[in-house]
Amino acid sequence: MTITLTYQHQFPYSDRMKMVMIVAMDEDCNIGSSGELPWRLKSDMIRFKSLTEGDGFNSVIMGRKTWDSLPADFTPLPDRTNIVMSRDTNWYADGAVTALYVGRAIEIALADGCDECWVIGGSQIYEMFLERVEEIHVTKVHVGGSGNVSFPVWNKINWSEEVIEHVPEDAHNEHATTYSVWTKN
């Protein structure tokens, strides 16, 4: 979904922001295990950083549990506006902007002048934004039964897939993966 401001604003930022989602999931749509990522996939981490950083004017939206799962060295994710969704009005973390509801999260990214707003999980946050994104970047991890947190049910009827890259299993990538970009028709 492309969010377009319909009034003539005076702020020094773009009036068009792309809403995008990014996820790694296994063959059973598992994305997480006991609050962490189930696999070590260096190629995916590098791609995630490069895509979500973009030109340095992007934001990431994540759930509070995903924020908690990030290693201390990576919080906040550098060179991106970190928007963290929580229902707890007292929740606070250095480097994060809290959003209590979906519209607020998008508003923060817009007000920050972001070119792209990346929805980065976890499961609860993917579910809330699935209908609001125009592109989903999926790394399919070629293994099953990885964890106890899943990507929400996704009706792909109006989506088309472009396979971009296959990465074999090696010393830095625990499993073979396929990276695709899904676009809403």
Q: Which residues contribute to the site for ligand NAP (CB under 6 A)? A: 23-24, 31-32, 35-37, 62-66, 69, 85-88, 91, 100-101, 120-125, 128, 149
Instruction: Pick between residue 14 and residue 148 the one whose CB is nearest to ligand NAP.
Output: 148
25: nearest Cα among 14, 13, 37: 37
Return all residues near 171 (Cβ < 8 A) that are at least 6 apart. Answer: none
- Considering the complex, what minimum distance in angstroms separates the CB of residue 64 from ligand NAP? 4
CA-to-CA distance for 174 and 96, rounded, in angstroms? 31
- Considering the complex, what minimum distance in angstroms separates the CB of residue 52 from ligand NAP? 11
CA-to-CA distance for 111 and 184, rounded, in angstroms? 25
Instruction: Pick between residue 61 and residue 110 the one whose CB is nearest to ligand NAP.
Output: 61
CA-to-CA distance for 183 and 61, rounded, in angstroms? 19
CA-to-CA distance for 104 and 96, rounded, in angstroms? 14
Instruction: Pick between residue 17 and residue 32 the one whose CB is nearest to ligand NAP.
Output: 32
- Considering the complex, what minimum distance in angstroms separates the CB of residue 4 from ligand NAP? 24
Instruction: Pick between residue 128 and residue 181 the one whose CB is nearest to ligand NAP.
Output: 128
Asked if the peptide bond before residue 122 counts as cis, ω within 30 degrees of 0, the response is yes
Strands 116-119 and 96-99: unpaired
Instruction: Pick between residue 9 and residue 104 the one whose CB is nearest to ligand NAP.
Output: 104
- Considering the complex, what minimum distance in angstroms separates the CB of residue 107 from ligand NAP? 14
Asked if the peptide bond before residue 76 counts as cis, ω within 30 degrees of 0, the response is yes
- Considering the complex, what minimum distance in angstroms separates the CB of residue 29 from ligand NAP? 10
